[in-house]
Each structure stands twice: as structure tokens, then as C-alpha cells.
Amino acid sequence: MTPVLRCAGLTRSFGALRAVAGVDLTIAPGARHALIGPNGAGKSTLFKLVTGTMQADEGRVELAGRDVTGLSEVRRCRMGMSQTLQHSSLFGSMTAAETVELAVQRHNASRISPVRSTRPATRERAEALLADVGLGGRGGVLVPALSHGERKQLEVALALACRPRLLLLDEPAAGMSPAESSRLVELLAGLPSEITVLFVEHDLDLVFSLADAVTVLHLGQVLLSGTPDEVRASEAVREAYLGTGRRSELFGPAAETSGGSDVPAGS
């Protein structure tokens, strides 16, 4: 089966610093794939290389088997790659419905209007997207009046307006309360299997609640890529995050019963 996303040898340097160093990454269709790692691991840079926001010095990016390495961010979006950003970029003067309608118009290559669309198909599509992300009935609310969690949900609706095959989320739970994070997990887990999700997230509770595959970056390289249980059991991952210490300090008490021990392998 052709991977939805394949990265081969991706490299990006900033002067003498190699932020991403020869990264290979394969994302299976329908996966909920997490990208984690300590601060400075290269996660954000890798995301930019995948989306086309930044061009790689070396390597290749394939979307559903097609080489998109030299394509712009817009071209990649047209081919089925969509993203939400770590920092909100919503229009404060618009309602939730107007914001989504604008995204629908943009994807359909229609004439973009900053006022409420009169086209029934556009309105219906926007209403359906708002309902899909749990914002049904909130379309008339101005963006600044939405809660932080609702604005994150709105950003997911905007990304879904592009009808993506690959949805990339950069720290989707940043700043969320535990209740909002729980709703986000339900939302992402409930997306159709036709939509593959790759997400960067620091909240490891959320990661292991949602992900069926995890890739760990460290110093710009892939330290480990595997199942959540394999990552939980990895001494190398624990040491990359903590240096030393018990796995429960990183993954919570469940890690103590998920296999493995706190004694380094070979001791």
C-alpha cells in the first residue's frame, strides 16, 4: 500500500546547525501518527519541510507516491495536504461561519468575499464542517468570543475545508484545559479513515490517547519510530527527554505496567 506521506533523507541546516539531519519518515494511510521529541529536536522544522513552508537542503517528500519536494505550500495543499498552525491566525472581525465559508470559497477557487456567502452550497458546506468539529450552532459567534478550545476546533474545520488526505496539526492542544484536550482527542479520533493525521504535540497523555504510531525526533534525527507501547518501553526515548529517571515521570503511572523496566538494557 502506498504511504500517504514518505520523507527520505530530509535535511535542513541553518549555518552550522543541522536542525533536520537525514530524516526518513513513512506515514501509513489512515494513521494517527504523532511526532514527538524534546525541545530543539527539529519537529517544527520537519513540519515546515513537509508542508513546503520551508525548502529542504537535501532529501525528498512524497505525497501519496507523488514527488512534491519542489512544490509550493499552496500546490501541496491543492494535492491534499492541509495543516493547522501552532499560533492562531483567525480573523477577529468574522464569525465562525464566515471564517469557514471563506476557506470553502478558497478551496473551490471561487471569488472570495469577506461577507457572508449567498451561495447555498457554500453555506451548507460550512455548516456541515462546523458540526463535524463540534461547533454546530456556534456559526454566528464572532471568533474572539469563542473559547480557546473552540478556536482550535475552528482551525480544524478550516483545514478540513480543503478536503485533505493528509492533515498536519502543529501542537493542536497548546493552551487547552484537560476537558478541551479530551474533546480534541474525540474529534481527531472520529475523523474519517480517509484522512490521515500527522501531529506534533508536547502533551504526551494526548499523544498516547490518540496515536497508533509515534516517531521520536532527537537532535534532528529519528530516534525511534514504532507503536505507542514500543515508545513507552524505550530507554533511549526516556533518556532523550529526561537524561535519567523513571519512565513514569515521562509517560505517567501506566508506563510502569506497559512492559520493560527502569534498568537500562544490558544491565
CA-only gyration radius of the chain, Å: 19
* pLDDT exceeds 70 at position 261: no
Bridge-based pairing of strands 66-67 and 5-14 is unpaired
Smallest CA-to-CA distance from 152 within 82, 219, 96 is with 96
Higher pLDDT, 244 or 144: 144
In the block, cell 519510530 appears at 225
pLDDT of residue 246: 55
Q: What is the mean pLDDT of residues 102-117?
A: 65
Q: What is the mean pLDDT of residues 162-176?
A: 90
Instruction: Confirm if 15 and 40 have CB atoms less than 8 A apart.
Output: no
Bridge-based pairing of strands 17-27 and 221-226 is unpaired
Instruction: Confirm if 112 and 102 have CB atoms less than 8 A apart.
Output: yes
* pLDDT exceeds 80 at position 126: yes
Q: What is the mean pLDDT of residues 122-131?
A: 92
pLDDT of residue 244: 52
pLDDT of residue 265: 35
* pLDDT exceeds 50 at position 121: yes
Q: What is the pLDDT of residues 15-45, one digit of tens each?
A: 999 999 999 999 999 999 999 999 889 999 9
Alpha carbons 29 and 195: distance in angstroms, whole number: 8
Burial class (CB within 10 angstroms; exposed 0-12, middle 13-18, buried 19+) of 11: middle
DSSP for 27-68, please give it: E-TT-EEEEE-STTSSHHHHHHHHHTSS--SEEEEEETTEE-
Instruction: Confirm if 250 and 241 have CB atoms less than 8 A apart.
Output: yes
Could you give the count of Cα atoms lying within 13 Å of 64 in the half-sphere of its Cβ?
Answer: 13
pLDDT of residue 43: 94
Q: What's CA 3's distance to the chain center, in Å?
A: 17
Query: pLDDT-based confidence at 257, cuts 50/70/90?
Result: very low
Nine cell digits for residue 186? 474525540
The residue ranges of every structural domain in the chain are 1-80+164-267, 89-163
* pLDDT exceeds 50 at position 266: no
Q: What CATH number does domain 1-80+164-267 carry, 3.90.1150.10, 3.40.50.300, 1.10.10.10, 2.40.40.20?
A: 3.40.50.300
Query: pLDDT-based confidence at 174, cuts 50/70/90?
Result: confident
* pLDDT exceeds 60 at position 115: no
Question: Residue 111, Cβ neighbours under 10 Å: how many?
Answer: 7
Phi, psi of 13 (to 5 degrees): -115, 150
pLDDT of residue 255: 53
Alpha carbons 48 and 44: distance in angstroms, whole number: 6
